[in-house]
């Protein structure tokens, strides 16, 4: 006990067991998260196969370049997060703080781009509800699906639902990164005790994975 | 064995490895964008999802250390995706077969 300081809780035999439990617990949470987002992905699958023309047409109104920029930003933030975990495993306090701050900055850039995109959708009446107005991207799609506007609204409901839930995860993740960075700056972590950095990393990487699927499914389906 | 799971992970993980994964993820993003601009019919979806799963696997295996994790962690990660697969399979088997009829004509 004394050799490992105060971080070892009394119900664990040793630091390794404590860390293994923390990591496993985080993965159980992530498995739940897969199914939480999975409900939305399954809904998307049903409506995309039901109304392929409306979904392709509605996706044409998104700016895929902004989506691609955000994909790169988020992948970059996953890399900086992996570097923060790497620094923690080697007990380098200053490096942990620096990499976590970089991750926070990249997360903020992502949310900023998302805010610009959402603003654009409000301006163009593409937010589902009573003010929704739809102009077909390609007239051919209107011929293939007479209820194009109605089904495009379904696409935008899923667009805001899925990207909104994803953004909410980032809004929750950024303060957690800040908290971990603050604890790292106080020298709380070491090679023997780095599980808070490790499991925060698991959360952040999961959020990145969700976006890896959202980008092609929402932005790229109308590109060709 | 799995007791030194993380000592293990960080013994294998290195900055060049993380840089390599980062580069691979960027290249795959470029391929996704390029492939989406060509019309492959239904295969556009196959290509897009194939690349997305490859990217997810890279993140899970290396950034999330599952490559070096014990069997229990692999089981939990896998179960999330297996149950998502079950959800999608039975949901679609319903929607796809709704228009089918047991009676010909």
pLDDT tens, A1-13? 344 467 888 888 8
Kindly list the structural domains of chain A, giving each domain's residue range(s) and its CATH number in brackets, ordered by start. Answer: 10-219 (1.20.120.80)
At a CB cut-off of 8 Å and minimum separation 6, what does A180 contact?
A: A100, A196, A197, A200
A110/A208 Cα distance (integer angstroms): 11
Read off the tokens for A35: 């199914």
pTM, two decimals, is 0.93
A221/B36 Cα distance (integer angstroms): 7
Q: What pLDDT, on a 0 to 100 scale, did the predictor assign at position B104?
A: 62
Count Cβ–Cβ pairs < 8 Å, chain A vs chain B.
148
B77/A211 Cα distance (integer angstroms): 18
Q: What is the pLDDT along chain B (105 residues), one digit of tens a residue?
A: 444 445 557 677 899 999 999 999 999 999 999 999 998 888 999 999 999 999 999 999 999 999 999 999 999 999 999 999 999 999 999 998 888 877 765
Share of chain A above pLDDT 70, in %: 97
Q: What pLDDT, on a 0 to 100 scale, did the predictor assign at position A3?
A: 46
Interchain proximity B3–A30, CB inside 8 Å: no
Interchain proximity B70–A20, CB inside 8 Å: yes
Q: What is the pLDDT of residues A70-103, one digit of tens each?
A: 999 999 999 999 999 999 999 999 999 999 999 9
Q: What pLDDT, on a 0 to 100 scale, did the predictor assign at position A14?
A: 87
At a CB cut-off of 8 Å and minimum separation 6, what does B22 contact?
A: A75, A76, A78, A79
A173/A88 Cα distance (integer angstroms): 18
Contact B27, B33 (CB under 8 A): no
ipTM of predicted assembly, 2 dp: 0.92
A170/A159 Cα distance (integer angstroms): 16
Identity of the residue in A27, A42, A217 whose CB atom sits nearest the CB atom of B73: A27
Q: Would you kindly state where each structural domain of chain B is located, as residue ranges?
A: 2-69
* B81: nearest CA partner in chain A: A34
Q: What pLDDT, on a 0 to 100 scale, did the predictor assign at position A114?
A: 98
A114/A83 Cα distance (integer angstroms): 25
DSSP string of B11-65, one letter each residue: HH--HHHHHHHHHHHHHHHHHHHHHHTS--TTHHHHHHHHHHHHHHHHIIIIIT-
Identity of the residue in B22, B32, B55 whose CB atom sits nearest the CB atom of A79: B22
Read off the tokens for A223: 């590109």
């Amino acid at each position: 006990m004394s050799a490992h300081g105060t971080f070892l809780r009394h119900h664990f035999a040793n630091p390794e067991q404590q860390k293994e439990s923390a990591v496993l617990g985080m993965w159980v949470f992530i498995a739940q998260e897969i199914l939480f987002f999975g409900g939305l992905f399954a809904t998307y699958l049903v409506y995309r196969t039901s109304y392929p023309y409306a979904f392709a047409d509605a996706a044409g109104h998104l700016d895929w370049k902004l989506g691609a920029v955000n994909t790169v930003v988020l992948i970059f933030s996953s890399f900086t997060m992996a570097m923060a975990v790497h620094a923690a495993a080697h007990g380098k306090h200053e490096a942990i703080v620096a990499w976590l701050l970089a991750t926070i900055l990249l997360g903020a850039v992502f949310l900023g781009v998302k805010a610009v995109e959402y603003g654009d959708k409000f301006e163009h009446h593409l937010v589902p509800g009573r003010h929704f107005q739809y102009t077909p991207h390609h007239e051919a799609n209107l011929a293939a699906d007479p209820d194009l506007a109605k089904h495009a609204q379904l696409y935008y409901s899923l667009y805001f639902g899925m990207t909104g839930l994803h953004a909410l995860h980032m809004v929750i993740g950024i303060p957690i990164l800040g908290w971990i960075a603050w604890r790292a700056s106080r020298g709380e972590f070491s090679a023997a005790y780095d599980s808070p950095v490790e499991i925060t990393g698991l959360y952040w990487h999961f959020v990145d994975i969700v976006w890896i699927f959202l980008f092609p499914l929402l932005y790229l389906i109308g590109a060709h | 064995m799995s007791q030194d799971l993380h000592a293990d992970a960080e013994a294998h993980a290195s900055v060049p490895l993380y840089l390599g994964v980062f580069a691979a993820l960027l290249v795959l993003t470029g391929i996704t964008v390029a492939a989406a601009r060509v019309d492959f019919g239904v295969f556009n979806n196959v290509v897009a999802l194939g690349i997305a799963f490859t990217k997810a696997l890279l993140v899970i295996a290396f950034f999330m250390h599952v490559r070096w994790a014990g069997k229990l962690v692999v089981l939990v990660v896998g179960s999330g995706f297996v149950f998502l697969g079950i959800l999608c399979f039975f949901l679609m088997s319903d929607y796809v077969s709704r228009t089918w009829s047991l009676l010909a004509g």
